[in-house]
Structure 1
Amino acid sequence: MLLAVIAAVTAAAAPSAPSPIYHYVRSNIDGSQPEHVVHYRPSKRTISVYKWVSKCTTAAYVTADMDDDTRSGRVFFAGRVAPNGTQRQFGRLTLDPESLTLWADVTPPGGKRIEARHALRATSFLLYDFDFADLNSFLQENHPTYDFSYALPVVWPADPSTFRDLGMLRAHLAGEEQHLGRDTRRFDLRVEGASPSSGTLWVDAKDWFIVDAQLGLPNHMEYKDFRLRLENVEPGGPKAWAALLTGHYANCPAPKATP
């Protein structure tokens, strides 16, 4: 009996295996303004997201630590991909679970420091400009064969408050169907807020990762709405992730000399 208890405790304490690496394209629903978005979970409670339009140009590298109780991010670290493939951080966004407040402290490269806070309307939230990486984590950990909901804040630098409260995102399990050549579970989405909207989420029927997501609200200022479409899945692990990031600036043309 004692050995069984020790084995159970050891298994619970052991870190989970890294997830696969999921390659997506974020765009408007019509496919315009595409950007590559890559989701990776080094462990059960950590998320890394790498975003780029073209290689050898500035690429975002955002990470998060998840909170099991809220099913949401506990802290987000904003950054860029450094030439050596590491994360060059320039800010963080932290959840205060007692006051249900998000605190932002960010100094963008070449910009002024931004300090802001945002009161959440619910305990569980998705940071919309994190491109559903936090939603992907929830789906893969919980396999929800039920309806669920999240508050939907988004970082919106054009607003004086730095944040926008888009309302509540509600997902209704609508059934199973083929989508983009995969067996999926479909969730019908609706947003209840100042600008009501709707959309659809398709999730892999076996492994519960996002296959396609469409919603009528933009998650970045330059967009008119939102789509996240799976391109491919590759094996994960620290070496694979590091190779992906260091490859961003590999074989880039040398900068032109100043006359």
Structure 2
Amino acid sequence: MFKEFALLGAAAVAAITGYATDAFGVGQPEAVEGRIYHYVRSNQDGSGAENVYVYRAAYNRLEIYKSSERCVDAGFVTAWVDSETGNATVIQGGRLMPEARHENFATISYDGAATMLRAEAALPDRMVRQQVRVTEPIFHLYDADLATLSVQTMGLDDPRQGFSFALPTIWTEPEDGQYVRHLGEANAEFVRAEEYQGTAALRFDVTGSAFGDNGGPLWLDAQSGHVLGAQWGIPNRPGMDDFSIRLVETEDSGDAGWQALLTDHFAGCPTV
């Protein structure tokens, strides 16, 4: 089950106060509640691809559904985030069930006073309770596929000034028994404005102790600041070689659209 817990792993994703300050500090509001972001996460060569859908259910709550295809196991995550920094105060991870239901079996919480990131999960044979110290003021769980990173970047007056964050992760197949890890710090430095798959974007070079020599580019939407894509040299889950994520589309269909998407995953599928 801890393996499926890694499916909370991303996107990738964002919820702010319901509006976004544009990337150039103009302050043009953009409604974001009710928006669904569809990402694809894979190795940089395209292998191991998985769909990651992020729903901005509220200004401080994200819901994430991810799976390689319909009718197979799918992860479902709910994250409560700080609306300015993107720090996830509580994350509940589990699996999607038929009829848009979900089952939780793991919880991650951050204790700001103790600067501890704590995880608890129900494995088939035991409970796992672990923690790691995260002292940096802003962090993003790497296996959440840059989901909460969009909260931070959409809240910046001008991301071109650069920004930093810590990068902890849940590693679901640890040889040393340590599931909860702190990889180090990531630093994003603005490179240039360019197009990313037909969208006006801001490109950053992301380096830092979290990556060693294996950082890479990050693209943000030039208007709203949300994550468009990234290519980094270290994987965010077991079985992968590196990391790539790209935004495929967005849809402003609200709760009705989200429930329809979740329901469709198992609709008409053979039962086991």
Instruction: Check conservation: 2:235, 2:241, Cα contact below 8 A.
Output: yes
Instruction: Check conservation: 1:48, 1:62, Cα contact below 8 A.
Output: yes
Bigger drift between 61-70 and 238-247 goes to 61-70
Task: Provide TM-score, normalisation by structure 1.
Answer: 0.87
1:124-177 deviation per Cα after TM superposition (whole angstroms, max 9, x unaligned): 111000010001222223353321111111111314221222110111122210
Quote the offset at 1:69 in angstroms: 6.7
Q: Which residue in the other structure is 1:96 paired with?
A: 111
Cα-Cα RMSD: 2.0
Q: Which residue in the other structure is 1:230 paired with?
A: 247
Quote the offset at 1:217 in angstroms: 0.8
1:162 paired with 2:179, answer: yes
Aligned residue-pair number: 241
What percentage of aligned pairs have identical amino acids? 34
The residue identity in structure 2 corresponding to 1:150 is: F
Query: Structure 1 residues 37 and 216, CA, compared in 2 at 3 Å: closer, same or farther?
Result: same
Of 254, 257, 261, the match for 1:244: 261
Query: Structure 1 residues 107 and 98, CA, compared in 2 at 3 Å: closer, same or farther?
Result: same
Task: Provide TM-score, normalisation by structure 2.
Answer: 0.83
Q: Which residue in the other structure is 1:81 paired with?
A: 96
What does 1:64-75 correspond to in 2, within 5 Å? 64-68=79-83, 71-75=86-90
1:217 paired with 2:234, answer: yes
Distance in 2 of aligned mates of 1:17 and 1:148: 22
Distance in 1 of aligned mates of 2:147 and 2:210: 22
Q: Which residue in the other structure is 1:133 paired with?
A: 147
Bigger drift between 149-158 and 125-134 goes to 149-158
Higher relative contact order (CA 8 A, sep 6+): 2
Bigger drift between 211-220 and 232-241 goes to 232-241
Query: Structure 1 residues 19 and 199, CA, compared in 2 at 3 Å: closer, same or farther?
Result: farther
Distance in 2 of aligned mates of 1:245 and 1:96: 31
Of 44, 50, 56, the match for 1:35: 50
Query: Structure 1 residues 171 and 194, CA, compared in 2 at 3 Å: closer, same or farther?
Result: closer
Quote the offset at 1:17 in angstroms: 5.5
Bigger drift between 207-216 and 56-65 goes to 207-216
Bigger drift between 88-97 and 229-238 goes to 229-238
Q: Which residue in the other structure is 1:112 paired with?
A: 126
The residue identity in structure 1 corresponding to 2:130 is: A
Quote the offset at 1:60 in angstroms: 0.2
The residue identity in structure 2 corresponding to 1:104 is: A
Query: Structure 1 residues 193 and 91, CA, compared in 2 at 3 Å: closer, same or farther?
Result: closer
Distance in 1 of aligned mates of 2:240 and 2:255: 32
Structure 2: gaps (5+ residues)? 1-17, 20-30
Instruction: Check conservation: 1:26, 1:34, Cα contact below 8 A.
Output: yes
Quote the offset at 1:231 in angstroms: 1.3
Q: Which residue in the other structure is 2:76 paired with?
A: 61
Query: Structure 1 residues 187 and 227, CA, compared in 2 at 3 Å: closer, same or farther?
Result: same
Distance in 2 of aligned mates of 1:228 and 1:194: 16
Quote the offset at 1:111 in angstroms: 4.7
Structure 1: gaps (5+ residues)? 1-10
